[in-house]
Amino acid sequence: MTRFIFITGGVVSSLGKGLMAASLAALLQARGYKVRIRKFDPYLNVDPGTMSPYQHGEVYVTDDGAETDLDLGHYERFTGVSARQSDNVTSGRIYQTIIQRERRGDYLGATVQVIPHVTDAIKEFALADTDDLDFVLCEIGGTVGDIESLPFIEAIRQLRNDLGRDRTLSVHVTLVPYIAAAGELKTKPTQHSVRELTSLGIQPDLLLCRCEHPLPDGERAKIAAFCNVRKQAVIPALDAQSIYAVPLQYHGEGLDDEVLHAFGIKDAPSPDLARWQDIMNRFNNPEGEVTIGVVGKYVGLQDAYKSLHEALVHGGMANHVKVNVKWLDAELFENEEELAANLEPMHAILVPGGFGERGSEGKIASVKFAREHKVPFFGICLGMQMACIEAARNTSGIAEASTTEFGDTDEPVVGLITEWMTKEGAEARAAGGDLGGTMRLGAYDARLDGNSHAGAIYGATMISERHRHRYEVNSHYTDRLRDGGLLFSGMSPDGALPEIVERPDHPWFIGVQFHPELKSRPFEPHPLFASFIKAAVAQSRLV
């Protein structure tokens, strides 16, 4: 029997519902249950693909090529369950589906309405492909009371009736703020938020109360009484020292026990949390530390590089070191002194993925610095493209090398490729097509040179990694780039598209066209990140 846990948020946004969902799923999984997490986003974009990282943070890409909310990254990292296209839906996609059905005439003359048509489509999404699962956790984006999340809340209300109380549970995440002037934690916002939720027909079973100070017993009892839940079901959720401490912390507060109690499950196996304890031990007892300079564009907002940050942390765990990430604004590095002053203290340099020309000269200059000073260098997606342009200009003598992404150029070392091969055959994109959904997206295979650095790191000759880009390194230039010292150590299986470049004359210099950070997990750090951090440790011993 599949049970459904619906997670809503109240009072304010940014309470960490995604982490809470991921942590609860991990705790249920630690008891041997099969879990999957889904995210409902109330905005009208069909997917977050065209949203600015400043608006939305990172766009997370699944193996099956969906551009999704970054919370799906947390879900994967915490549970190891690969997310799918069908695990993230937006109001935009729901309405798109309904309007397409309406145009096809599927509604047979009926008036198409939010209830039942929109709510039915939401329910369909929640229930699809869940037969083999023990628990499906559905996180509703936004805050209860928002106009746009109303159809989702209504769909949950209906599902609770359709499936019955023994198969559904409502968890509401709220804030219990500390008012310094009064020296007190305040429960009123939580009371109001629960009242809002009950006015929409949903009585929460569990409250997860985010607070900066321990929740006194009296306040816990007060919340229970006013919000009509058991006292044990009011779970205090204090800020954690690391996101990976959250499952153990919530377990300590009784979260998973309370969920099982609410479902009336009495024979649940006790959880095996050894792997969580192991990574926390590594996290708490580092044997050293390294500093990695990430030279990017969206450095003002850490969420823009969420998976990248986590992959670097995982690389640190693999090497028993603490990783300090310095977010460096590429635009400032067009000034040489600024660049040297900022990059000299770094034990390794990473140029991440990105879009657009702004800051690109600073990124190219950073690649040059890493190459000349033999500092470990990792280029990801746009970072790899910048490494190829740097090589073209400075070691292959193609002074005007550029990418067509930045405008017309006589030397398109990186350019728009309009056709590529998938497992199903050739796939094409139009040069002037819509920006949404015209990228090479999702998992693609690459063949590695067995004698290369990348081949040694992966210990494999065929790999599969996730992509999200429109431009490719132009294969017409590979011979000249090779003459400049670049090795093309990974290619698409048909040999047409460069996937990995490296410099054999450098201790650690690798650029990848894909996003390895999306597949790194705390229990299985990605081999490229584990190796990159190892190289940074070696570099830290040199300086």
Positions that interact with ligand GLN (CB under 6 A): 353-355, 381-382, 405, 468-471
* Smallest gap from residue 171 Cβ to ligand GLN (A): 34
Q: How would you classify residue 419: left for phi > 0, otherwise alpha for psi between -120 and 50, otherwise beta?
A: beta
**Interhelix angle for 360-373 vs 382-394, to 10°?**
70
* Smallest gap from residue 59 Cβ to ligand GLN (A): 9
Do the beta carbons of residue 37 and residue 47 sit within 8 Å? no
Question: Cα–Cα distance between 502 and 512 in angstroms, integer?
Answer: 9
Catalytic residue among 139, 258, 502, 517: 517
* Smallest gap from residue 507 Cβ to ligand GLN (A): 24
Residue 453 vs 470, nearer CB to ligand GLN: 470
Residue 333 vs 471, nearer CB to ligand GLN: 471
Which residue intervals of 344-417 are DSSP H helices? 360-373, 382-394
Residue 210 vs 297, nearer CB to ligand GLN: 297
Q: Look at strands 322-329 and 3-9 and give their pairing.
A: unpaired
381 is catalytic: yes
Residue 74 vs 363, nearer CB to ligand GLN: 363
Angle at 205 between CA 201 and CA 207, to 5 degrees: 105
Catalytic residue among 381, 405, 453, 469: 381
Please give the full DSSP string across 306-356, using - where no structure is assigned.
HHHHHHHHHHHHHTT-EEEEEEEEGGGGGSHHHHHHHHTT-SEEEE----S
Which two tokens mark 200? 């929409």
Catalytic residue among 172, 453, 467, 515: 515
Question: Cα–Cα distance between 522 and 524 in angstroms, integer?
Answer: 6
* Smallest gap from residue 380 Cβ to ligand GLN (A): 7
DSSP-based helix, strand, coil % in the chain, nearest 5: 40, 25, 35
DSSP 379: E
211 is catalytic: no
Question: Cα–Cα distance between 511 and 495 in angstroms, integer?
Answer: 17
Hey, which residues does 58 pair with through a beta bridge? Answer: none
Q: How far is CA 135 from CA 3, 120, 126, in A?
A: 5, 21, 12
Residue 312 vs 382, nearer CB to ligand GLN: 382
Question: What are the φ and ψ backbone dihedral angles of 466, each rounded to 5 degrees?
Answer: -90, 140
Question: Cα–Cα distance between 401 and 390 in angstroms, integer?
Answer: 8
**Interhelix angle for 71-79 vs 17-29, to 10°?**
20
* Smallest gap from residue 120 Cβ to ligand GLN (A): 36
For the chain, the farthest-separated pair of C-alpha atoms sits apart, in whole angstroms, at 75
* Smallest gap from residue 361 Cβ to ligand GLN (A): 15
Residue 204 vs 511, nearer CB to ligand GLN: 511
Residue 18 vs 354, nearer CB to ligand GLN: 354
* Smallest gap from residue 36 Cβ to ligand GLN (A): 27
517 is catalytic: yes
- Residues carrying an active site annotation: 381, 515, 517
